[in-house]
Structure 1
Amino acid sequence: MNSVIGTIGRIAALALALAAVVTAPAVAADIKGAKDYPGIKRFDGASIVVYSAQKFTHYTLPLGPADDADDDNKPVFAASKQASGALTRLSYTVPAGISSDDVFENYENELAAKGYQILFKADGGAIGKRQDAIFSGIGTQLFDYSPEAAHLLTAELAKDGATVDVVLYVTEYEDGYTPGIEVEKGQVIVQLDVIESGTLQDKMVTVSAAEIEKGLTAQGHIALYGITFDFAKADLKPDSKPALDQVAQFLKDDPAAKIHVVGHTDNVGGLETNMALSRARAAAVVAALVKQYGVSAGRLNPAGVGPLAPVAPNDSDDGRARNRRVELIPQ
C-alpha cells in the first residue's frame, strides 16, 4: 500500500514539475555570436536579436533632431559630432508588458552610474521628422516605424585615453518588416550603438581581407589606417606589412577585382605639396603590391586627393591622424 502511495506521490510531483515548465514564461535566446558591450548591462530578460561589430568605422553622433535625410536615406541631424573607432551594434527585444519609459530610465541610470555624460536627449516627435532613418541600416525595419513612444540619447565617457560614445534608442514596436525576429506590437525594442575611440595606436588596426570586401560592397570604399609612412615622405614603414598582406589577400581572393588606391593627408603644409605627397604615397602602395605580392599593375590605379576629403577636423592631433589614410575604391 505504501509503495502505491509513494508511486502516486511521485507521479503527482512530476506532473506539477511539468506544469511549471509548461507555464513558465519562455526566455528567448540571443542570436549566435552576440554578446553585450562590456560594462553596459542589458535590461533584465532582454534578448539580442541583431548584432554586429566592426573594428573601425566612422559614425555620426546625433546632437540634435533628425528632421531630414540625404539621398542615401541617412539622417541629417540639426547638430552632430563625428566619431571614429570600433563600433558595436546591439538590437534587443524586451519581454512584453514593460513600457519604453521604464526601459529608457533604467538605461539612463545605468549609464549615469558608469560616469557617462549625456550630450543629447529627446523623446517622441522631438527626435525629428526623419527618426525612421537613424537606424535604417541594421538590416531590418525593427526601428523604422515606431516613433511615438521613442526615446533617444547620445552619451559619452572619457577614460584612460579612450572615448566611448553611446547612441541609445528605445521605443515600442508598432510596424515594420522584421525577418527572423519575434516581436509583438507594443513590445519594447532597444537599439544600442557603442563607438569606442582609443589612442592613435588603437586606431591603426589591420583590416582583414574579408572586411575589405565587405566594406567595398556595402560602402563603396574602405579606409586603411594600418598603412603608414615616414613624416612628409612616401616611404612605407615596415609596420605596414600586415595591412598590405590583407589587401593582397583580398585581391587574390577576388581575381576580377580592380581598385583605385587613394592617398589622403592632413592639411599641414601647402595644398600642392600635400596633393603630390598623397599621390606619391598611393603609388608606393601600388608598387609594393606589384613587386612584393605579384599583383598585376593593371588592377591598381594610384591617385591622391591630399587634404580635400577629410573625415575629421584638422584642428587636433587626433583629427589629423584620422585624415591621414589610404582608401580603396572599386574601379
Structure 2
Amino acid sequence: MNKAIIAITMGDPAGIGAEIIVKALNNKDIYEKANPVVVGSSNFLKDAVNLIPSNLKINPVESVDDIKGEYGTIDVMDLENIQLSDIQYGVVDKKAGKAAVEYIFKAIELAKEKKIDAVVTGPINKEAINAAGFHYSGHTEIFAEKTETDDYAMMLADDEMKVIHVSTHVSLREACDLVKKERILTVINLADQALKSLSIKEPKIAVAGLNPHCGEQGLFGSEEAREISPAVKEAQKAGINAEGPISPDTIFSKVRGGQYDIAVVMYHDQGHIPMKVIGFQYNQKLEKWESVSGVNITVGLPIIRTSVDHGTAFEIAGEGKANQESMIEAIEMAIQFTEN
C-alpha cells in the first residue's frame, strides 16, 4: 500500500464516535488519499451503518496487513472488548470508558511500531475513563505519556483560524500560574514547527496576553511584562516570526483576517471559545447543528495525532443526528501531515 494508513479510534462506544466515523468513511475522497482502519468494535459500527442507513460493509481485520482499503468497506481492528448489550447510548459507563482507552492504547502501539502513519481519535468521555481507572484529563495527556513526550501542546485548527495552548485541562486558577516564559517559548517553537509541517514556510505567530488589555502596564496584572514579552523576544532572537503580547480581545480577529497564521493562547478557554464560536453553528429553526468543524492536533509527539474538536454528544447518541464534519477534517489533516 502506497497510501498512508490512518488508524481511527472509535472513542466512547456510548457516544457518537461510531456514527461519525461511518458517515465520514462514506466519503470516496478519503479512500483516494489514504487507507483508513478503525480501532474499535464491529458491532457498534454495524449499528451505526443501520442507523444512517447505508450500504457500507464492515470488514474485521486481524492486522494492518489485512486492510482492504476499498471505498464501501470499513476495515476495523475489533478489540472485542465490548458488546452492544453491555451499555446504553448516551449513558456514562466505565465499561465504555475502558473500551475507549484500550482503542487509544492500541492505536498508539501501532503508530510506535510504524505499522500505521497517523492516528485520528474519536471523542471520549473523561468521567467514563476515570471511572474505569484511567486517570487522565484527556487524549493529549494519554498520547504524551505513552510516547514519553515532555514538550507537547494542543493545537486547534479550522481553515484560517488556528490556536495553540500554553495550558489546557487545569483549573483557571492553576492556568494563571502556568504562564511562564519557558513554557510559552516552548509552545511558540511547537507552533512554528507545526505550521511548517503544514507547508507554511514562514509562519507568522501571534502571542496572546493573559490579562485584559495585556495588563495595561501592570494595572491589571504583570504576567505580560514578566513572562510573555521575554518569551516572545527570545523566540524572535531565534529567528521565529512571533509578535506579542497581543490583547486577547483582538488577537483572534487578526488571525482570522490573515495578519497571523496562529495564536499562542495562555489557557484552555481562551483558545477554545473563539474556535467553537466559528466552527459550531446551530440552526434553531431546524433544531440541529449545521456545522461542527475544527480539528484538534497534539503537536510535539513523535507520531501524528489529530482528533475531532467536540465531545461524545451523549444527548444525541444513537439517533443518527451527529455531524461528521469535524471527523472528516481530522482525517484530512492527518493525511496532510503524513504528506509533509
Richer in strand (by share): 1
TM-score relative to the length of structure 1? 0.32
Higher-Rg structure is: 1
Using the size of structure 2 for normalisation, the TM-score is: 0.31
Higher helix share: 2
